[in-house]
Amino acid sequence: MQRNILLTPGPTMIPDQNYEAMARPIIHHRTPQFQQNIKDVIQGLQYVFQTKNEIYLLTSSGTGAMEAAVCNLLSPGDQCITVEGGKFGERWTELANAYGAKPTVIKVAWGKAVEAKQIKAILEDNKDIKAVFITQTETSTAALTDVKAVADVVRATNAVLVVDGISGLAANDLKMDEWGVDVVISASHKGFMLPPGLAYVAVNARAAALIEKCTNRRYYFDLRKSKKAFAGTDTPFTPAITIVIGLVESLKMIKKAGLEKWFAHQAHLALGTRAAMKALGLSIFTDASCLSNALTAVNVPQGVDGEKLIKTLRDVHGVTLAGGQDELKGKIFRICHMGCISEGHLVMGITILEQVLAEMGYAFKKGAGVKAAEDAFKNSKIGAGR
Amino acid sequence: MQRNILLTPGPTMIPDQNYEAMARPIIHHRTPQFQQNIKDVIQGLQYVFQTKNEIYLLTSSGTGAMEAAVCNLLSPGDQCITVEGGKFGERWTELANAYGAKPTVIKVAWGKAVEAKQIKAILEDNKDIKAVFITQTETSTAALTDVKAVADVVRATNAVLVVDGISGLAANDLKMDEWGVDVVISASHKGFMLPPGLAYVAVNARAAALIEKCTNRRYYFDLRKSKKAFAGTDTPFTPAITIVIGLVESLKMIKKAGLEKWFAHQAHLALGTRAAMKALGLSIFTDASCLSNALTAVNVPQGVDGEKLIKTLRDVHGVTLAGGQDELKGKIFRICHMGCISEGHLVMGITILEQVLAEMGYAFKKGAGVKAAEDAFKNSKIGAGR
């Protein structure tokens, strides 16, 4: 008998409506029927991105959209800023280097977020910087960047601001137009509750001008091709048809709830999860100044084998959490609470986490985690649930 | 009431087993469970590709795999041969140009296939050519290239042979190792009976050596990253999880039937389809010397509006055929018979095609197409059906 409670920060669990939509007999993509799906998806994404900008669909994982941002905005030799506070911030640096750009890297302690003034100092020193790449929610550490504060700084310069919203978007607020963010990217398999395979790039006029001038070699991720296809409600290459059709459903759900309520619900779940960890005597890895609604990163307590914890939860109990990546391997575990995860899923996950922690010899008051989560959910004023 | 008989050459219809596999609660990709899926998929693909080479999975449409072949094998300034006999051959040229290579283009009349001797002549003249790019089945014209004959020519030189098997593979024979093809690419949404979003690249030792030396900028499609991940039964970036899981099922079906029987069945369906077209007085667009098992391209008869034909079949009757692309727009229609399409689907499609042709004023003996297909199926010696 199998059970599969997926509490990982990507892929996330998928609602039944989405499974149903994706299981409908597949249709061809060059048809008015599919064009309607694309129209619905673009409109829905514009609502979540809080933008009137064009949004391009790419058939790739999130990294494909990151590559599109780098190889379309930066020409070889161009200078940029990247922020390394975790595995995905490092990816911006790797991409910049791969495409011949010259990144000035801001190193941030894992678990903390970059401060706008750090970016401001470098931009003031160096007027040649063309782009600033940041990560809304750094999935590897659960740290949330204050995108608005960074946008306030970058907007006043000639540089464009590119935000990786792969993990953060649809879980935390990001007002692309109001805050003046130039490029926002995201993907299907996190806050959008779908399988991986579809990514999106939203581009404003300032960024569009850079794209036209960029000299990097590119084809599949060439956003000039995307722009041309977008004008005809099309994609330049065969799209991930079933995920697009599933995305219509996700976006309907988000729209129906309303963005404010949607974010509040994710914050509500985060609150309960963190209350539970505290009651179990566990500490949060991420700095209290930069907690994301998307997931919670928890320090593995002394005496507990972090990798064995994840393995036992998954292989014996059917509850999948994420462990730590790279330098955090074995040191943290991560619980996702974005997308369609409910209070019930989290209570179930916490119950089984308690059981396995007890088996592994960790001392705590049994049931304290579940009680704390339930109390927090009951008393929470931020989200009455969806 | 909706009906959807999809007879387009990509996406193709999807068997129920695959829908079921893809609708299972999604699992995380960094788990032993998913590693087993990857193992099964690689083994199954090696069977279909008829190779012992490494095969890398890319989350993209087929064009992503084409790009991977170009940007990993050719450095700027390198010479290559491309063959333009349709839209997808032209894509090889576009990609070569996009990555700074210098293609010698062989122009072939649409509907015909390149001859090995044409490639031989250029290779003899120019020893600096690094790679030859061909298309197994050119989807836009239904022409099948004699890959073995081309491989015999290229193998004797220093150039590598790259075959786009996106439409052809799993419908027509391609013995990668025996024929000595260096790189074969394919994708999920044609002969493999799945949604678009997953592509594969098989690479032999000769090509692997070029990949290591290549100086083109690349990241998402960098096959050095794929090679490293392959060693750990992993992918460098989040894969299209659900399509990989669906592919396990497709490959089981193909393996169970056996490749020879699988190809024979596709040939059997092609035979019936072409008999029907002939009985309706319609002519085949593609040259008789290079017919593919994957699809049949048919000339729209004089007096019939080709675009209206496709539209009426689809929007009134729920049967989707493909029209012509680019210079063939309105001039041909294409019927797919690869993947899980059955005699029944084709008979249904031909019945409705007859009905719409009659409505559009085309004169023929009613029922002749269906009778010819059924007779051909009954008398066919090549495939007793799967």
Per-residue pLDDT tens digits of chain A, which is 386 residues long: 677 899 999 999 999 999 999 999 999 999 999 999 999 999 999 999 999 999 999 999 999 999 999 999 999 999 999 999 999 999 999 999 999 999 999 999 999 999 999 999 999 999 999 999 999 999 999 999 999 999 999 999 999 999 999 998 999 999 999 999 999 999 999 999 999 999 999 999 999 999 999 999 999 999 999 999 999 999 999 999 999 999 999 999 999 999 999 999 999 999 999 999 999 999 999 999 999 999 999 999 999 999 999 999 999 999 999 999 999 999 999 999 999 999 999 999 999 999 999 999 999 999 999 999 999 999 987 765 54
Average pLDDT, integer, range B45-74: 98
- Given this model, what pLDDT does residue A386 score? 46
- Given this model, what pLDDT does residue B386 score? 46
Of A10, A222, A238, the CB nearest to B238: A10
The DSSP secondary structure of A53-110, one letter per residue, reads SEEEEESS-HHHHHHHHHHHH--TT-EEEEEESSHHHHHHHHHHHHTT-EEEEEE--T
Work out the burial of residue A344: count CB atoms within 10 Å of its CB; fewer than 13 is exposed, 13-18 middle, 19 or more buried: exposed
Q: For residues A59 and B332, what is the distance between their CA atoms, to the nearest angstrom?
A: 29
Structural domains of chain A sorted by starting position, each given as residue range(s) with its CATH number in brackets? 5-10+258-379 (3.90.1150.10), 16-256 (3.40.640.10)
Of B27, B67, B320, the CB nearest to A220: B67
Contact B98 A22 (CB under 8 A): no
Instruction: Give how far B63 is from chain A: nearest CA, Å.
Output: 7
- Given this model, what pLDDT does residue B320 score? 97
Residue of B nearest to A194 (CA): B26
pLDDT tens digit sequence for B5-58: 999 999 999 999 999 999 999 999 999 999 999 999 999 999 999 999 999 999
Contact A320 B195 (CB under 8 A): no
Residue of A nearest to B62 (CA): A238
Contact B196 A239 (CB under 8 A): yes
Contact B195 A240 (CB under 8 A): yes
Q: Which residues from A are below 8 Å from B314, CB to CB?
A: 31
Q: Which of A1, A4, A6, A60 to probe by mutation at the B interface, max B CB count within 10 Å?
A: A60
- Given this model, what pLDDT does residue B382 score? 75
Contact B60 A13 (CB under 8 A): no
Contact B217 A216 (CB under 8 A): yes
Structure tokens belonging to residue A61: 């994982």
Q: Which residues from A are below 8 Å from B219, CB to CB?
A: 63, 67, 94-95, 98-99
Q: For residues A159 and A111, what is the distance between their CA atoms, to the nearest angstrom?
A: 26
Structure tokens belonging to residue A56: 């391009």
Contact A217 B100 (CB under 8 A): yes
Task: Please report the number of interchain residue pairs, chain A to chain B, with beta-carbon separation below 8 angstroms.
Answer: 163
Q: Which residues from A are below 8 Å from B14, CB to CB?
A: 25-26
Integer-rounded Cα Rg, in Å, for chain B is 21
- Given this model, what pLDDT does residue A171 score? 96
Single pTM value for the model: 0.97
Of A27, A63, A198, the CB nearest to B6: A27
For A86, left (φ over 0), alpha (ψ -120 to 50), or beta? Answer: left
- Annotate B352-382 with b (16+ C-beta within 10 A) or e (fewer): bbbbbbeeeebeeeeebbbebbbebbeebee
pLDDT tens digit sequence for B207-246: 999 999 999 999 999 999 999 999 999 999 999 999 999 9
| pLDDT value at B267 more than 60 | yes
**CB contact at 8 A, B346 and B337:** yes
User: CB A384: neighbour CB atoms within 10 A?
Assistant: 11
Q: Which residues from A are below 8 Å from B221, CB to CB?
A: 220
- Given this model, what pLDDT does residue A383 score? 61
Strands B199-203, B322-323: pairing is unpaired
Task: Give me the residue label for tokens 């799967």.
Answer: B386
Average pLDDT, integer, range B352-362: 98
Tell me how far CA of residue B199 lies from CA of A58, A94, B27, B217, B337, in angstroms: 14, 24, 20, 20, 21
Q: Which of B12, B33, B60, B102 to probe by mutation at the A interface, max A CB count within 10 Å?
A: B60
Q: Which residues from B are below 8 Å from A196, CB to CB?
A: 29, 59, 238-241
Tell me how far CA of residue A197 lies from CA of A1, A240, B69, B191, B220, in angstroms: 29, 7, 20, 20, 13
| pLDDT value at B384 more than 60 | no
Q: Which residues from B are below 8 Å from A13, CB to CB?
A: 25-26
Contacts of B68 by beta carbon, 8 Å cutoff, 6+ apart: B56, B58, B185, B199, B201, B221, B223
Instruction: Give how far A149 is from chain B: nearest CA, Å.
Output: 30
Contact B6 A22 (CB under 8 A): no
CA proximity to B24, closest of B263, B182, B245: B245
Q: For residues B266 and B264, what is the distance between their CA atoms, to the nearest angstrom?
A: 5
Q: Would the ipTM clear 0.90, i.e. be above it?
A: yes
| Displacement of CA A383 from its chain's centroid (Å) | 21
